[in-house]
Chains A and B, each alone.
Chain A
């Protein structure tokens, strides 16, 4: 099922300077889509447009699911580390906007939040201060928060920036698992890791180029789960590689 369709979308922050131009994109409910591209290429702008934080100037974004069913994991979860808040409370934020209770959190909300924490393997850290967790653990807590509203799709902005390799792998394994039931869209720089998990990739640099990865992945061999970026570029169609390359 198609859950999102973008047609001829353009966006500019200043006049005569388009950040995104003529974007066409289709997202299916079982997609694991990677959005890659250089800094300033418009990746985050595209994500904000999909989330509805920005309004499209030209073109149409049609969603087949409600905004509440799109989970969002922000780029920088390392902000506000001194903030006195527990992992459980962060996840409970996912319930906000629902039925209001006069005082504190309802039992159903807490149970649901604990289940979300369990899904990401963080149930034992529920009452730990968020700033005391490692980067990867914190990222999983934020994924749990997005899971709280039973989303059909989850959008993650640079989920593995500032996480060590082990943490990155854990996050991607988790996303792969979640992808069995929901659509995952990841904006990222670490192409090499990401492309082992994604099945489609959209390269955004003002324009958008879409690739289906399944056919490409067969042609590339991986060493220790690490995909060679040079071979990847080759496979994606850039046959001219400027230097000799041996493994």
Chain B
């Protein structure tokens, strides 16, 4: 078994898996406690528009997806902060519209062909060194922001009215949380694909919640659990030659179900 570690692409995949898991654990905790899973799903799917445009213009895909996801995050932040009715319908629309744009631009690209499936379901085996660089930078960025603004983020997430009374810029921090989610989602697309991103953000968090009584410990525990799921999933995916994204998620759900069943007794 251990001989597989000698391959460069396996090392890269494992490293990417760990880096993504750290980001997913921290951001996933924020997404779950703020109850913005649907919003994050919208950002994840509409970022496919950015991927399509980047392919069409010949730009780096990660860059296209990042810019597009941040723009979507800001639009969603503005919509939800102004308490518009039917925000969920608008997000559902953006969700589909982003994907439609992506498909149209990929269609328009002459001589194509990028593997669409790898963006939808992930191809962690194919991560490049640039992807690893991006993920490392993202982890450092997310950890610095969350550590420095921990109290503010905690207060805004738990009791936004109180935060407002205390002069905290609630809108700024809410938008910041959405932008961080957008960045995390884009990075996670490589590993598990945009369809499965939400699962990686929510399953470890949901499980961690049963054991953690602090947001900080929830983040750490979620990151650890996500790492375990990702590595186990990768090993299974390599052993049985199946898609990495799908096997990561299946491992996560099976472990979650087992632990929840044991905990109930």
Q: How far is the CB of A109 from chain B (nearest CB, A)?
A: 9
| 0/1 interface trace, chain B 147-162, chain A, CB 8 Å (1 if under) | 1101110110111011
Count chain A residues whose beta carbon lies closer than 8 angstroms to a beta carbon of B: 26
Asked if A227 is an interface residue, CB under 8 A from chain B, the answer is no
Tell me whether chain B's interface is mostly helix, strand or loop, or mixed. Answer: helix
User: Looking at the complex, which one of B158, B161, B165 makes contact with A85 (CB distance below 8 Å)?
Assistant: B158
| 0/1 interface trace, chain B 127-167, chain A, CB 8 Å (1 if under) | 00000000000000000000110111011011101111111
Q: How far is the CB of A225 from chain B (nearest CB, A)?
A: 32
Count chain B residues whose beta carbon lies closer than 8 angstroms to a beta carbon of A: 27
Asked if A16 is an interface residue, CB under 8 A from chain B, the answer is no
Asked if B218 is an interface residue, CB under 8 A from chain A, the answer is yes
User: Looking at the complex, which one of A86, A97, A105 makes contact with B168 (CB distance below 8 Å)?
Assistant: A97
Tell me whether chain A's interface is mostly helix, strand or loop, or mixed. Answer: loop
Contact A96 B33 (CB under 8 A): no
Residue on B nearest A103 in the bound complex, by CB: B147
Q: Given A96-B155, A96-B166, A103-B147, A86–B213 Cβ distance below 8 Å? A: yes
A107 to B160, CA, bound (A): 25
Asked if A53 is an interface residue, CB under 8 A from chain B, the answer is yes
Contact A128 B213 (CB under 8 A): yes
Task: Give the residue among B151, B157, B215 with the most A Cβ atoms within 10 A.
Answer: B151
A104 to B161, CA, bound (A): 22
User: Contacts of B218 on A, CB cut-off 8 Å?
Assistant: 84
A90 to B214, CA, bound (A): 11
Contact A96 B151 (CB under 8 A): yes
Residue on B nearest A95 in the bound complex, by CB: B151
Contact A97 B158 (CB under 8 A): no
| 0/1 interface trace, chain A 53-89, chain B, CB 8 Å (1 if under) | 1000000000000010000101000001011111001
Asked if B109 is an interface residue, CB under 8 A from chain A, the answer is no
Asked if B237 is an interface residue, CB under 8 A from chain A, the answer is no
Interface pairs (12), CB distance under 8 Å: A52-B165, A53-B164, A80-B158, A83-B158, A84-B209, A89-B214, A89-B215, A93-B154, A96-B166, A102-B147, A103-B147, A128-B213
B residues at A contact (CB < 8 Å): 29, 33, 147-148, 150-152, 154-155, 157-159, 161-168, 209, 212-215, 217-218
Closest 4 CB pairs of A and B: A129-B213, A84-B218, A84-B212, A93-B155
